[in-house]
Each structure stands twice: as C-alpha cells, then as structure tokens.
Structure 1
Amino acid sequence: MITMTRKLALLAALGLAATTAASYAPPASAAQVSVGISVGVPPPPPRYVRVPPPRRGYIWAPGYWRWEPHAHRHVWVGGYWVRVRPGYRYVPEHWVHHGRHWRFERGHWVR
C-alpha cells in the first residue's frame, strides 16, 4: 500500500512534468512544418475593430478570416497580442490571391 506522502509526491511530480511539457517552446531556429490552405472563395473584407491600448513588450496582431472547411465559409478570428521579438517584424495572418484561388498565410516573424 502506498502511503499518503508518496501519493502526494507522485502527484506533484506528474503535475510538474505536465507543466514542463506544456510550456516547452522549441528555439526559433528549429525546423518548422507548414500546412497551406487554398480555397476558391475570397475572404470577406476585414472587420475594423478598435485596437486595445499598447502593452509593453507586445504587438497587436489584427483579426483575420479563417476558412472553416466543414461549414464551407470564412469565420472571423479576433485580434490577439504577440510577444515582441527584437530584431524581427511580425507579418500577421493574411490571404493572398493566386489565380482563381486564395492562399492563407499564417502569421510569422521576418528579419
């Protein structure tokens, strides 16, 4: 039979392991995989919303239209804060027109 102290220690260790695994972020130089989305339906015009007051160390990424394949329509995703990366410029999510299709580009950092 496991004593109460051992049970608590085991639970604490499992909680610490789960927290560490959930907060892991690979270095920016790590290889990245990207999946593209291309649809024949143009996104609606962007919604104009009031940008919240500035936050030190963050930039505001504006909202964008996400394609919802099961519903066959675009769905609005509200803006959000992104932590600043010194020496980089953030390019927010956007749609690019290619011939008869529209390709979605995820938000990313560029030098």
Structure 2
Amino acid sequence: MKRLSPKQQTFTLLFAALSLTAGCAGPTNNTQRGAAGGAVLGGLAGAIIGNNRGSGNAASGAAIGAAAGAIAGGAIGHSKDKREAQAASGYPSASNTSSVTNITVTGAPPMPPASIVENQPPRPNASAVWVPGYWSYENGMSYVWVPGRWEIPPPGTNTFQPPYWMQQGNGNVYVRGSWR
C-alpha cells in the first residue's frame, strides 16, 4: 500500500472529521460540538497510532479514530443536551417522584377534584414529551395539582403513566406516575 505524505495525511484527517460531523445535528450545540471535538481528537490519535504501527498507514487510523471519537463525543454532548433541556423546563422530573413510597388507604380511595384545563406551551426541545397535569395524592391527606410540563424521558422510555389507584387486599394503593 502506498504511504501518504504528511500533507495528504493531514488532508485525509480533516476530510474524515468534517465528513463524520457534518450530519451530527442534535437538539442543541453540545451534540454537534461533542461529535466534532471527538472526531478531531479521535482522528489525531488514530493517525498517530496508525503511523507508528509499522505499516505507516495514518489515513486508516485517522478514519477509524475519527469515527469512534465522533460517536463517543456526540453521545456525551447529547446527554448534556438532555440534562440542560430538562433543567430549562423549570419542573422537577416526574421520573424522580416514582421512588417515593406509595400511599395505602383502607376502603375506597378518595376521588380527585376535576382536572384543570391547561395551555400547552411550545415544545422546548425535539426530544421533549408533554406530561399532562394531574392531581397527586400527597401525604395520605389531600390532592395537590401537578402542572403539565415538557420533559425529556429517561433512556428506554417514551410514555408517562399518570398516577393511579390500585386495589390491594382490603384497601387501595396510590401508585405514583412514572415513565414507561
């Protein structure tokens, strides 16, 4: 195989990095920056390893390193985008409330008040899912309205299950809302 000149190696590295990051469109800039930065760093590391491996094939090392770096950097950036979008929503994650102990009542559960009609604001992020408002039974004493909000679902989920009452033995258990 023909060995590339240093100038050709540099061009190949830059071309590979730009090609890989051109299609990395995420919800915000963190995904793109992570993919681009990862591709460049991975490409440089791959070129050095490929060149020092004995075959002197820096171009293939750069391409492989750029691909791996773009994927890793993009994933890290996307994770940061999701955290920022959730923080920007101004509401705590409904997924964080599922760890709270469920409430059990003897006999029939108390009925919640009528739902409140809400205006749904514009979606803040392409990954956001609208969680409609609901009445949450708090402290085993009364219902509290939880306003609707946009939320980024946890990985592997896409639907919010609102809270509900489930019959258990001689009573009922209030099961808090969670992502499924």
| TM-score normalised to structure 1 length | 0.51
Residues 49-88 of structure 1 mapped to structure 2, 5 A cutoff: 49-55=118-124, 56-69=126-139, 72-85=141-154, 88=157
Count residues with an aligned counterpart.
79
2:163 is aligned to 94
Residues 17-56 of structure 1 mapped to structure 2, 5 A cutoff: 35-39=101-105, 40-55=109-124, 56=126
Change (3 A) 1:84 1:33: closer
- Using the alignment, how far apart are the partners of 1:43 and 1:102 within structure 2? 14
Please tell me whether the aligned partners of residues 90 and 107 of structure 1 are also in contact (alpha carbons under 8 angstroms): no
Please tell me whether the aligned partners of residues 104 and 173 of structure 2 are also in contact (alpha carbons under 8 angstroms): yes
- Using the alignment, how far apart are the partners of 2:161 and 2:117 within structure 1? 15
Structure 1, gaps ≥5 residues long: 1-22, 24-31
Of the two structures, which has the highest relative contact order with CA contacts closer than 8 Å and spacing of 6 or more?
1
Please tell me whether the aligned partners of residues 41 and 101 of structure 1 are also in contact (alpha carbons under 8 angstroms): no
2:178 is aligned to 108
- Using the alignment, how far apart are the partners of 1:33 and 1:103 within structure 2? 15
Change (3 A) 1:36 1:68: closer
Query: What percent identity do the matched residue pairs reach?
Result: 28
Shift of 1:33: 5.2
Q: Which has the higher helix share?
A: 2
Change (3 A) 1:57 1:89: closer
| TM-score normalised to structure 2 length | 0.34
Q: Highest CA radius of gyration, 1 or 2?
A: 2
- Using the alignment, how far apart are the partners of 2:147 and 2:117 within structure 1? 10
Superposed structure 1 runs of 4+ greater than 6 Å apart? none
Shift of 1:93: 2.4
Q: Which has the higher strand share?
A: 1
Please tell me whether the aligned partners of residues 133 and 148 of structure 2 are also in contact (alpha carbons under 8 angstroms): yes
